[in-house]
Chains A and B, each alone.
Chain A
Amino acid sequence: MNVLNFQSKECERVRRQLDAYLSNELLVETTSDVLKHLESCEACSRELESRVRVREALQTAAAKLLPPEYLGQAIRQRLRRAQPAWFGGFQATSWVAALASLALVVAVGQQWFRFERGKQLVASVLTLGVSDHLHCAIQAHNYPEIANPPDQLRQKLGPEYAALLPVVQGKLPGFQVLEAHICRVPGNPREYVHFIARGRGTILSVILTQRKGQSLPEARFVAAATSGGVELYRARLGAASVAGFETNDYFGFVVSDLGQDEMVRLAAGLAPALRNALGRSSGTERAAARAFLIAFVLAGLGAEHNRPGHYGSARKPQ
Chain B
Amino acid sequence: MFHRPKICIDDFEAVAMPHVADLYRCASWLVQDSWEAEDLVQEVYLEAWKSFHRFEPGTNCRAWLFKILFHRLHHLRRRLWRASRLESLESGGDLDSLVAEPPVPQEIRDDDILLALAKLPLDFREVVVMADVQEFSYKEIAETLKIPLGTVMSRLSRGRKLLRQELAGVARAYGVEPAEEHEGESA
Contact = CB atoms under 8 A, between A and B. Distances in A.
A218 to B, nearest CB: 19
A53 interface: yes
Given A58-B132, A82-B49, A67 B20 contact: yes
Contacts of B52: 84, 86
B78 interface: no
Nearest to A5: B184
Given A53-B104, A57-B113, A62-B25, A16 B96 contact: yes
Contact of B187 (A6, A23, A58, A86): A6
Contact of A89 (B6, B50, B100, B164): B6
Contacts of A91: 1-3
B173 interface: no
Contact of B38 (A2, A23, A71, A236): A71
Interface in B32-51: 34-35, 38, 41-42, 45-46, 49-51
A16 B114 CA distance: 26
A74 interface: yes
A4 B99 contact: yes
Interface in B68-105: 95-96, 98-104
A75 B184 contact: no
B153 A76 contact: no
A169 to B, nearest CB: 28
B92 to A, nearest CB: 17
Q: What DSSP secondary structure best describes chain B's contact surface?
A: helix
A164 B9 CA distance: 41
Interface in A1-45: 1-6, 12, 15-16, 18-20, 23, 25, 43
Contacts of A54: 104, 108, 113, 160, 163-164, 167
A89 B113 contact: no
A2 B178 contact: yes
A60 interface: yes
Interface in B94-141: 95-96, 98-104, 106, 108, 110, 113-114, 117, 128, 131-133, 137-138
Nearest to A15: B96
Contacts of A76: 13, 17
Interface in A93-145: 93
B35 A58 contact: no
Given A12-B187, A75-B17, A86-B4, A51 B164 contact: yes
B130 to A, nearest CB: 10
Interface size class of A (residues with CB under 8 A): 35 or more
A65 B53 CA distance: 31
B8 A88 contact: yes
Give chain B's interface residue range (CB within 8 Å of chain A): 35 or more
A115 to B, nearest CB: 10
Given A3-B99, A88-B4, A57 B50 contact: no
Contact of A55 (B132, B153, B185): B132
Contacts of B108: 53-54, 57
A12 B96 CA distance: 8
A72 B132 contact: no
A1 B137 contact: no
A103 to B, nearest CB: 14
A260 interface: yes
Interface in A270-290: none
A62 B153 contact: no
A2 B100 contact: yes
A76 B14 CA distance: 11
A84 B185 contact: no
Nearest to B163: A54
Nearest to A6: B187
Contact of B42 (A23, A66, A75, A85): A75
A3 B50 contact: no
Contact of A79 (B13, B157, B186): B13
Nearest to A60: B110
Contacts of A72: 17, 20
A2 B102 contact: yes
A238 to B, nearest CB: 14
7 contacts: A19-B157, A25-B137, A58-B128, A58-B132, A67-B41, A79-B13, A85-B50
Interface of A: 1-6, 12, 15-16, 18-20, 23, 25, 43, 47, 50-51, 53-55, 57-62, 64-68, 71-72, 74-76, 78-80, 82-93, 236, 259-261
